[in-house]
Amino acid sequence: MLYQELIRSKRDGAELSQAEIAALVAAMVDGRIGDEQLGAFAMAVYWRGMGPAETAALTLAMRDSGRVMDWQASLPGPVLDKHSTGGIGDGTSLLIGPWLAACGGHVPMISGRGLGHTGGTLDKLAAIPGYDPFPDPARFRSIVREVGVAIIGQTDDLAPADRRFYAIRDVTATVDCLPLIVASILSKKLAEGLDGLVLDVKTGSGAVMPDSARATALARALVQVSAQAGTPAEALLTDMGQPLATTAGNALEVAEVLDLLTGRRQGGRLFQLSRTLSARLLMLGRLA
């Protein structure tokens, strides 16, 4: 296949087929397509966009570029997760994971580092001495099965196409391309083998995507593509016009979460939003 022909087609506004997109993603993983061609493809998508079918095809091809977890035979309860687009003081994952596990859910969360000015969940957990973000797969599965929740980083065998493509987008000013954002987020989340997913899409001055119209479009696209992949999903638009927690800084935010989990502290924006997201997940998982 001549990848420059795919790039030309997208540059000229054509809709790519599922087979063409699958071939492109396979070439990302095995190295048959060069960085310069991937950069050109990303820029073509940035300017021309992708239709719903193209976005879904890209997402699923990137998900299937690596290992896709299958929990059906080993877990007694639903497999659930959430994704947040992030913001200062956003420790919702650290609250929601244990809460869902306590209610009978299982949360195999693949998380990431911060984006822009926000600290990611892995950045927060790195403040805990001895935390290992990359356990071997057997240990990860064992923890999810026995404890109910495990939060790890993206390993080499989970959506490897996304890992390479994101690095290209990062140096070609195409990170903020909506269909590529959708494919990047969902390729990792859908690789977790989920029964339900809730998406917390931030808007406001402190959000990665502050414009409410773009945030709404992202939320709708995420839900639509997830449904096409067979994973029920809901999205909430939430305000990031001010920090979510009462503290800022990875270690301080972890300490605040521990206070909320142990009952030493109650209430506040972080607690309320985490409770709302957890309730939606419990309903998706038929646990409430």
Question: What is the residue whose two structure tokens read 């029920």?
Answer: 232
Q: Is 220 a catalytic residue?
A: no
CB atoms < 10 A from the CB of 26, how many?
16
Helix (H, G, I), strand (E, B) or coil at 135: coil
Q: Is 121 a catalytic residue?
A: yes
Task: Indicate which residue of 63, 124, 164, 189 is catalytic.
Answer: 189
- The DSSP secondary structure of 174-198, one letter per residue, reads -TT-HHHHHHHHHHHHHTT--SEEE
Please state whether beta strands 149-153 and 107-111 pair in parallel, antiparallel, or not at all (unpaired).
parallel
Q: Is 202 a catalytic residue?
A: no
Write out the two tokens for 183.
């494919």
CB atoms < 10 A from the CB of 124, how many?
24
Task: Indicate which residue of 188, 195, 203, 226 is catalytic.
Answer: 188
- Give dist(CA 45, CA 47) in Å, integer: 5
Q: Is 106 a catalytic residue?
A: no
Residue 183's identity, in one-letter code, is A
Of 91, 126, 142, 118, nearest in space to 258 by CA: 91
Task: Indicate which residue of 59, 118, 184, 187 is catalytic.
Answer: 184
Q: Is 117 a catalytic residue?
A: no
Write out the two tokens for 216.
């709404």
Task: Indicate which residue of 59, 121, 187, 203 is catalytic.
Answer: 121
Task: Indicate which residue of 169, 202, 203, 278 is catalytic.
Answer: 169
Task: Please state the length of the chain.
Answer: 288
Q: Is 169 a catalytic residue?
A: yes
Judge contact between 203 and 209, C-beta under 8 A.
Answer: yes
- Give dist(CA 197, CA 226) in Å, integer: 8
Question: What is the residue whose two structure tokens read 């650290």?
Answer: 94
Q: Is 188 a catalytic residue?
A: yes
Task: Indicate which residue of 59, 63, 81, 247 is catalytic.
Answer: 81
Task: Indicate which residue of 83, 124, 163, 202 is catalytic.
Answer: 83
Task: Indicate which residue of 10, 55, 63, 82 is catalytic.
Answer: 82
Query: Any idea which residues carry the catalytic annotation?
Result: 81-84, 121, 169, 184, 188-189
